[in-house]
Structure 1
Amino acid sequence: MVYSLELVNIDLIKETEEHIPSRVEWLAERIKDEGIWRVPVLLEKTTYAIMDGHHRYNVAKKLGLKRIPAILLSYDSSSVVVTSWRDDFKVDKQLVLDYIKAGEIFPHKTTKHIIKPAPKEIQIPISFLY
């Protein structure tokens, strides 16, 4: 399967999960040093809610980027599977959609989105994203 890569205005994106600030700091330094954006953020195509990439999204905000490389997907797709990283939290597609609709945010590392086949890495100069 070939995914369509889009550059999405950062102001349109909605967070669905908390992030770990120290992870954002580390990743921001790495991306800034390399000058390359390598992993697209995965977004729900109608709401622009983040499926995967909360730390990358917060890196983009920290670096002052105006747009972010993203792949738009649908929870209706059989190629999108949702589970949880946590043993104490059961997650499925409907619960995630309910949270998006209500504007609620999961604790960090709650949702795990498995995309089959997995999107490939990219190489976009961050200078192109300001």
Structure 2
Amino acid sequence: MFNLIKIEELKPLEMVFPNHLDNLSKMILESNVIQTPIIADTNTGVILDGSHRYVFFRKYGFINVPVKLVDYNDENIRVGSSLIHRHLVDENNIISKKEVIKRGVSGNLFPPRTTRHFFPFRKNEFINIPLKELEKNIPRDVSQFIADVDIQYEINHNRMFIKEIEHEFEELIRYMEEVRQTKMYLLNQIELMETIK
């Protein structure tokens, strides 16, 4: 479920990577479709997921953009600085929801990909909206949203992000093993109880 929201009602949270923005822009323009909505807080308009899409929309002059609105006060929505925070609470996690809202509302943007938001739904909801269905105006300058980093920095950041993903896979495997062991324990308990009933 998404709404078409005026882009001016949205508030960015993070800067974006220049090369990632260029690559994403080419993909969107070649397909002429926006596949997934931006996710934003319904109360403040702060963007929780989709910073690069937001800058794409601004750059190309879109007026109304697809947004999935969520209540950021919902305790089922969490924030961390690493993907592993989806599964484990880390006392060293220095990002709070309060800081996210403060940064977004004030315009004091985080560096690219600083936050990781975890929602009680899958983020890859495909909406496949043709760009021609979105109201458009003149292109806008977006330089204030683009981080001043070189391509090697972005490559290194992507490599670190891949390591985060691998770490999350490892944690999922450990969790699956824990659940498997619990299942085996319960099956064993049932078997023992069946013999004495």
1:1-130 alignment runs, 5 A limit = 4-85=1-82, 90-119=94-123, 120-130=125-135
SS at match of 2:133: helix
CA distance in 2, matches of 1:48, 1:115: 16
Larger relative contact order (CA 8 Å, sep ≥ 6): 1
Alignment: residue pair count: 126
Conserved? CA contact 1:28–1:62, under 8 Å:
no
- Give the counterpart letter for 2:66 in structure 1: P
Structure 1 or 2, whichever has the larger Rg, is 2
Deviation at 1:61, TM superposition (A): 1.5
Normalized against structure 1, the TM-score is what? 0.87
Deviations 1:78-104 (A, max 9, x none): 231110149x97212122123234332
The answer (yes or no) to whether the contact 1:8–1:68 under 8 Å persists in 2 is yes
- Contact 1:89-1:110 within 8 A present in 2 as well: no
Higher percent of residues as strand: 1
Give a deviation string over 1:31-52, Cα, whole Å, max 9, x none.
Answer: 1110111010001112111111
TM-score, length basis structure 2: 0.59
Normalized per residue, the structure richer in helix is 2
Task: Quote the Cα distance in structure 2 between the aligned partners of 1:19 and 1:89.
Answer: 22
SS at match of 1:46: coil
Q: Is the contact made by 2:44 and 2:101 (CA closer than 8 Å) also made in structure 1?
A: no
**3-state SS in 2 of match to 1:104:** coil
